[in-house]
Structure 1
Amino acid sequence: MNQLAKLPEILRAPVEMAWADILGAAGAAERRALESLLERVGFAEQLNTVLAGSRYVAESLRRRPWLLVQMATAGHLETPLREGALESELAELLARSDEDAAVVLRRFRQRQMLRIIWRDLNRLAPTLETTRDVSWLADACISLGLKHCAAELEAKHGQPRGRQSGEYQELVVLAMGKLGAHELNLSSDIDLIFTYPEGGSTDGERRSISNEEFFTRVGRALIALLDPVTAEGFVFRVDMRLRPYGESGSLVQSFAALEAYYQEQGRDWERYALIKARPVTGSIIHRRELMECLQPFVYRRYVDYSAIESLRSMKQLIVAEVRRRGLQSNVKLGSGGIREIEFIAQCFQLIRGGRDTSLQRRELSPVLAECAELGCLPEPVAKELQTAYLFLRDVEHGIQAWDDRQTQELPEDTTARAALAHCMGFPDYDVFLGELQRRRHDVAGHFAALIAEDEDSSPAPESEGLWSASCDPKQLTGLGFKDAERLAELLRGLFESRLTQTLQAEGRERLDRFMPLLLEACAECEHPDLALERALPLVSSVARRSAYLLLLIENPPALADLATLCGASPWIAEQLATRPALLDELLDRGSLYTAPEREVLQSELRQQLARLTVDDLEGHMDALRYFKASQVLRVAASELSGRLPLMKVSDKLSFIAEVCLEQVLALAWAQLSMRYGEPARDGTGRGFVVLAYGKLGGIELSYASDLDLVFIYDASSGGYTDGDRAIDNATFYMRLGQKMIHILETRMGLGQLYEIDMRLRPSGASGMLVSTLAAFEQYQQNEAWTWEHQALVRARPVAGDKALAYKVESLRRTILCEARDRGTLAREVVTMREKMRKHARVGAEDSELDLKQGFGGIVDIEFVVQYAVLAWASQEPSLADWSDNVRILEALALSGYLQKEQCQALVQAYLELRSATHQLALQQQSRSLPATQFATERSAVQLAWESLFADVVADKEEGIDTEPADDEDILGSAGKHKE
């Protein structure tokens, strides 16, 4: 035989003997065909590898030599399978064969296993193709075997029908474990659960039986078809122990019974098992219905830290089992084996899969990649685990190919060891074993670091007994709290509250563990009293969702950050109390105190939303709200820690809003175009733009700002959408605006995304929700009031079509750069300012300073800037380049229209006043301060005001408008862009 020299010496004689046996069993024609195959390039070497590595294949070919000729001649050994090919082939065999189905299935498996092992041992197929092909083989055998069994029973008893629906019922086979994930190994058993949609009975006239009995018989028949070992071998070993109640439970259950079991009695290990569950039979509708009823049990809605304890227990059991059973030679169950890699991936799926839906995958490789993408695992670790996983799966296949036995134990036989090393590409077994041990050592290290052992989190002696009905204020004083009597009363109140007393045992135990730790964390803060007082509402809000308490118990640094942030800001404390899901952000201190740039925000949000389908509007709205809340929390934490200056804070908050608006527009567009098609328009793009005014327009957003928006579109006035349900362009864009407002403003569990104000659109609240570009231009040029042109100073496109945004920005510049009579302009600006002061009830002699509306306050600076742009942009167009006050003031300094020193003083005053408003917002205090504060800054503002408007005598009896209008309405709109 050719190419034997390439084999290790110990394997040459067995291969020669196996080939001689195959030729001896073949007829004359078959022998000639077999020998001619050796003349093919590379075939003899591949044959030697397979005969050396698989006694099972050698024996199969000795019994049926023609199989090799058939498979090689047809080209099946060289080409990968296409999806559905096995099912089609098996269906044809069953239809035209006179032999028993059990025989057909077993011979079909033998033929396919020859092809799969040949390709695997010769590395003609990558590892995951091998596991996929074995899984497809199992799917085909289960699916067509089930049809065969069901048809036989239906002939006797009729078809099963639903009691309520009257519809045809079918057995849905739920594949678990490796089969569910398309990761079956060469000699695996298959873990199955049998279920059916609805109770009822068969429609046979004479021998009707209940659906439960019918499907129980079908299930037993299917097991009997696949599992037994006969003279032809077996198809697949079937394991039903993962069904509800295990071996003592019913063989089949309805969807309703299955759902009830998991919701009422399901255990954490069953959640773990169901991660990979996949229906392999049944209609698409029934498969989807089944997975939808299982989903809430497997994946909690948000990050599930309650799983940590059970996962730690599972991990301890794994370690103990390895030690007790001496599993070091087992590449699956031993230390650093396949099971540990799977456990690492599935831990993150259970804990984070509810929120990070990209982790809701069955296959291990994509999950590891996603863990790296989400930051659950460092990318080098994820790659190392992936490489080790593929290596170990190849070793597993090499072990199982030897005798078609379900084992993962390294062989002890010298020949088998040599065969395994050769198939793995190593010169000898010792070299192979060294590489295997190295990889397993790496995996074991990552497994050991995954979930830390439960450290002693007992409270310090100083805090013992404080969480009780007899809380002693003296102990609180000893810990460093100031107002101990009041805090003790608050703690006793919470301890004795109905909420606490009615908690279930597990929740109460966690609360009792948590409270002393919280007291100690707050005592370490700069403001311990404030930290504790502000943290207690959070405790009340999460007491019944004790997984959050467990998160903080398990992560002392996160608890310390919680106490610090609560002590620093009641606003943050309130955000966490109303949105406990944000506690997840405390786990990564690096990201908590780092506010990303715009491009990073775009990427993060795109990735989160890409995992959702377009029609899942609620899922998108939830994801958007969490994204916004978590990113704003990061900005606030960064500001409080001194890592972000004011200008950067406003930039970051503005970026968050812009990124959210971009995605809201994309989502609304996708939903409407799916229904109506896309509107007729010239060129590419959506022909729609979001124009932001006020704080967002000026890139000066604050924590609680709403968004002042105007929607503009530019498309053919007579055009229609191109969908089956066509509507005119104007209607499409109006509905687009309505859909965006719905997505932004609807209150959900995480609140609103943003509150939207549209009153700055042409004609205010009475105008069209969405304006055409032409209508917007006509209004701005012919009808807009001076205060509307003031508002335009702080306007900029923030989302939508770039080409249209350029047109809108050009129109803005044109309007702002028009020549104006400065005297008339000054009178109108001063008159509007006095109206606003009167409306806000602010006087020059007030003992308190309103940072926004007071004399020398923020609005005065804004009016100075807006007047300057409208007065001088016709001579100095660069004044219209920017929409934010600071850069406009810098441009004014360069232009010479205001003195450089004066502009610098205004910039300094503006930043100081705005910084104060930010700090007051985080402290949830009003923006009024003693009038003596910021005297220097306010004086600089008033000097600038007087230098511009000293000669203006405002007529207090006359309004800006010449038509009847409601001052409240005007001021509501005109003032919004300065909120």
Structure 2
Amino acid sequence: YQMVAGGRDQTLRVPDTIGALAAINRKGWVDDDSKRVLEESYYKLRTWEHRVQMIRDAQTHAIPKVENEIVRMAALYGEDNLDKFLKEIKVTLEGVHKTTETFFATDKEDQVEYDTSFMEESDWEMVNNWRQLPAFRTERASKIFARLHPTIFNRLARSSHPREALLQLDGFLRRLPAGVQLFSLFEANQHLLELLVDTCAMAPRLASSLSNNTQVFDAVLEQNFIVPLEDEKVLEKTLCDGLDRASDFESVLRVARRWNNENNFKVGVHLLKGLSNCEQAGKSYARLANCVIKSLVPFVVEQFSSTYGPPPGRGFVFLAMGSLGAENLTSQSDLDLIMIYDPQEEEHSQGKRPLAVQVYYARLTQAMVSALSSQMAEGKLFEIDMRLRPSGRKGPVATSLNSFIHYHKNSAWTWEHLALTRARSLAGNEELGIEIEDFRQKLIHKLEDYPKIITDVIDMRRRLSENTPVEKKEDVWECRLGKGKLLDIELLAQAGALITNCMERDIGSQLLASSTKGLMTREEYEELSSHYSLLRQIMQVARLTVEGNFSPDTTGKGIIEILLQQTGMNSLETLRGKVQNQTENSKAIISDLIDNRWRKWADG
């Protein structure tokens, strides 16, 4: 158990055997009765070992075969009845064996029947071809996997759609570079194999990502896997502790990726198993992104500073924008970030290779983006989008505080002010972050050209509609693009936030502010809020489970069942009807508000 879990849990790294038994008992790996049997047996076996060594005056662990030596050993133990002594040895050894045998994998080829009634002839051909895959290149891997057949096929047979799950399992095995270690882990921990089969049945996209990140199964062995994610500060400390133990910068990036992969897998499994809902998953994914960015920044700065010197002036802040700013992500969300820095009076960095401050912070930004998005053996952390920075793609990747303030006071487009409604200081200099937040709030309070805001939003809606392909507009399951859908609701909510001086970043609170201030009725708020939540639920499930666009015609039935469970609908047709009806209602409400009532209110 120390080998299996001690690498992740330092409390199990106890040098003495009795102490280690107590530690794994506290963690729930060994029950109280097993702990008692093993402790008592350990003391007896150690005592007998010492008596044998005293008799033979040698480093030995073998029970004597000569009767007079056994008699002497028993006498040293305080037992004058030889038969009773030998029986006690036998009972002790059998007790240890019985207690420990369930943990160790066996090579015994048990003939266990399993259910393959769901399989067709082509399925058998596919299964028979598994032995040609890289994961089965060794005889040991093939033998272990053969012993896993009962668990695999019985679990498949019990799933709602076993043939779909079998096809996904086939894809998982084909992508595996090797199999012995993973198959051994499955044999010792059958619930991991059952989880894999369930994931194949319910979330093909998640299953496909597991092939290159099989180490995430280690996280399932932890006792707290079924417990919701900890508080953000606890998560951040856990990650930072792991990063601090890394030997170099590359190891830091690998540790961060492993940590993020494991926790993302946990959030996804909780959603699939109904342990959490879509809203909770969205917040959990955002919490993980927050922790990764905040924890990595000091290491990136340290690595960069070793060549170019420490950050000039007061340093910098990374602003979270978009869904990250609102702390509502999916498993596949890009992260919108902006870097703002304050060089004060400094013009260059102080290091072995000094840089002008603008170049310094531009390169530091690129270093951070690279740390987050570079492909490694453990994959990427996140894709980063910096288009929400001042002047978009045309502007520098890092912006000075003075330039940021001047730009938003004098030159920013309305869409950039809309984006600020969800801006949040995430990592960097805390004092600078507070100052930027103070500016954000004051700016929103001072924006009073409501006719311009509404005119620009009307124009944005028109251009978004013109640039959205017809097939996406007509696709019921396209959640983001099209009138009455996510981007349309977000545009309305952010415009309302500017008009009502709402400082909240999440869309629900921004819609509520518009209702509270009289910009829309309570009924309209409830309709838009309900529809926004429904579309987010569909998108959350789709991003976790399928590659590409979600379509019921090409999506497995297991995924449909998860979708219905999360949305509270009893059939796909009911859900389809609700989405269509609410989209039309939301489209009509938004058009009436922006094109008619808000426009008249602003002009009057």
TM-score by length of 1: 0.50
Tell me what 1:737 maps to. Answer: 365
Structure 2 distance, partners of 1:359, 1:763, is 51
Partner of 2:260: 628
**Does 2:236 match 1:602?**
yes
Q: Does 1:648 align with 2:285?
A: no
Counterpart of 2:516 (choices 889, 894, 901) is 894
Query: Partners of 1:620 and 1:503 in 2: how far apart?
Result: 33
Mark the CA change 1:606 to 1:847 in structure 2 (over 3 Å): closer, same or farther: closer
1:452 pairs, out of 96, 103, 115, with 103
Partner of 1:528: 162
Which position in structure 2 is the counterpart of 1:699?
327
Counterpart CA distance in 1 for 2:221 and 2:151 is 17
2:316 to 655, 669, 688: 688
Q: Does structure 1 residue 494 correspond to structure 2 residue 122?
A: no
**Rounded Cα–Cα distance in structure 2 between residues aligned with 1:570 and 1:591:** 21
Q: Distance in 2 between matches of 1:450 and 1:602?
A: 38
Distance (whole Å) between structure 2 residues aligned to residue 713 and residue 379 of structure 1: 55
CA 1:549–1:374 in 2, change beyond 3 Å: closer, same or farther? farther
Shift of 1:844: 10
Gap change, CA 1:720 and 1:934, over 3 Å in 2? same
Secondary structure, aligned partner of 2:433:
helix
C-alpha contact 2:286 2:324 (8 A) present in aligned 1: yes
Counterparts of 1:18-29 in structure 2 under 5 Å? none
Deviation at 1:578, TM superposition (A): 2.8
Is it true that 1:568 corresponds to 2:202 in the alignment? yes
Match of 1:905 in 2: 527
Could you say what secondary structure the match of 2:311 adopts?
A: coil
Letter in 1 for 2:441: R
> SS at 2:425's partner residue?
strand
**Alignment counterpart, residue 753 of structure 1, candidates 381, 392, 396:** 381
Q: Partner of 1:426 in structure 2?
A: none
**Paired position in structure 1 for 2:549:** 926
| Code of the aligned partner of 1:624 | A
* 2:311 partner amino acid: P
Residues 1:751 and 1:498: Cα distance change in structure 2 (over 3 Å): closer
Equivalent residues of 2:527, 2:582 under 8 A apart? yes
Letter in structure 2 aligned against 1:926: N
Q: How does 1:287-298 map to 2 (within 5 A)?
A: none
Q: Is the 8 A contact 1:844 1:855 kept in 2?
A: no
By how many angstroms is 1:565 displaced? 1.8
| Aligned residue identity for 2:127 | L
Residues 842 and 595 of structure 1: CA distance in aligned 2, closer, same or farther (over 3 Å): farther
Structure 1 Cα separation of the partners of residues 15 and 255 of structure 2: 24
- Residues in 1 aligned to 2:508 and 2:360: alpha-carbon distance in whole angstroms: 38
Structure 2 CA distance for aligned equivalents of residues 667 and 689 of structure 1: 15
Residues 154-177 of structure 1: CA distance to partner in whole angstroms, max 9, x if unpaired?
A: xxxxxxxxxxxxxxxxxxxxxxxx
Which residue is 1:713 aligned to? 341
The aligned amino acid for 2:582 is E
- Distance of 1:380 and 1:800 partners within structure 2: 48
* Structure 2 residue 568 is the aligned partner of structure 1 residue 947: no
- 1:595–1:638 Cα contact (<8 Å) kept: no
Q: Structure 1 pair 545/902, CA: closer, same or farther in 2 (3 Å)?
A: same
Report the Cα offset of residue 779 of structure 1: 1.4
1:819 aligns with 2:447: yes
Q: Is the 8 A contact 2:496 2:511 kept in 1?
A: no
SS at structure 2 position matched to 1:777: helix
Contact 2:338 2:386 in 1 (8 A): yes
Distance (Å, rounded) in 2 between the aligned partners of 1:883 and 1:778 = 23
Shift of the 357–670 alpha-carbon distance from structure 1 to 2, 3 Å rule, reads farther
**Aligned-pair distance for 1:901?**
2.3
User: What is the Cα deviation at residue 670 of structure 1?
Assistant: 2.1
Q: CA deviation at 1:575?
A: 1.7
| Structure 1 SS opposite 2:339 | strand
Deviation at residue 597 of structure 1 after TM alignment? 3.2
CA-based RMSD of the aligned residues comes to 4.6
In the alignment, the residues of structure 1 paired with residue 439 and residue 25 of structure 2 have an alpha-carbon distance, to the nearest angstrom, of 42
Letter of the 1:945 partner, please give it: I
**Sequence identity, in percent?**
23
> C-alpha displacement at 1:568, in angstroms?
1.0
Q: CA deviation at 1:927?
A: 4.5
Q: Deviations over 1:182-220 (max 9, x none)?
A: xxxxxxxxxxxxxxxxxxxxxxxxxxxxxxxxxxxxxxx
- Measured at CA, do residues 620 and 380 of structure 1 come closer, stay the same or move farther in structure 2, by a change above 3 Å? farther
In 1, Cα distance between the equivalents of 2:224 and 2:166? 24
SS in 2 for 1:461: coil
SS at match of 1:850: coil
Q: Cα–Cα, structure 1 residues 839 and 506, in superposed 2: closer, same or farther, change >3 Å? A: same
Q: Is the CA contact (8 Å cut-off) linking 2:151 and 2:194 kept in structure 1?
A: no
How far does residue 526 in structure 1 lie from its aligned partner after superposition?
2.3
Residue pair 1:716, 1:729 contacting (<8 A) in 2 also:
no
Q: Which residue of 1 aligns with 2:460?
A: 832
What is the alpha-carbon distance in structure 2 between the residues aligned to residue 406 and residue 677 of structure 1? 63
Q: 1:371 to 1:854 in 2, by over 3 A?
A: farther
Q: Conserved in 1, the CA contact under 8 Å of 2:484 and 2:584?
A: yes
TM-score (norm 2): 0.78
Aligned equivalent of 1:670, options 302, 311, 327: 302
Distance in 2 separating the partners of 1:741 and 1:610: 21
Are residues 1:544 and 2:178 paired? yes
Structure 1 residues 450 and 517: alpha-carbon distance in aligned structure 2, compared to 1, 3 A threshold: closer
Which of the pair has the greater relative contact order for Cα pairs under 8 Å at 6+ separation? 2
Gaps of 5+ in 2: 62-87, 553-572, 600-604
The one-letter code of the counterpart of 2:411 is E
Q: 1:851 is paired with a residue of what secondary structure?
A: coil
Tell me the residue number matched to 2:428: 800
Is the partner of 2:233 in helix, strand or coil?
Answer: helix
In 2 relative to 1, CA 593–573 (structure 1 residues): closer, same or farther, beyond 3 Å?
farther
From 471, 482, 495, the counterpart of 1:867: 495
The count of residues paired between Structure 1 and Structure 2 equals: 554
Distance in 2, matches of 1:776 and 1:406, equals 79
Displacement of 1:784: 1.3
- Residue number in structure 2 paired with 1:256: none
Deviations 1:477-503 (A, max 9, x none): x2x45xx244234224434x4647x72
Superposed displacement of residue 865, structure 1 = 0.2
Contact 1:902 1:940 in 2 (8 A): no
Cα deviation, residue 887, structure 1: 2.1
- Give, in angstroms, the shift of residue 935 of structure 1: 2.9
Paired letter, 1:545: G
Change (3 A) 1:751 1:507: same
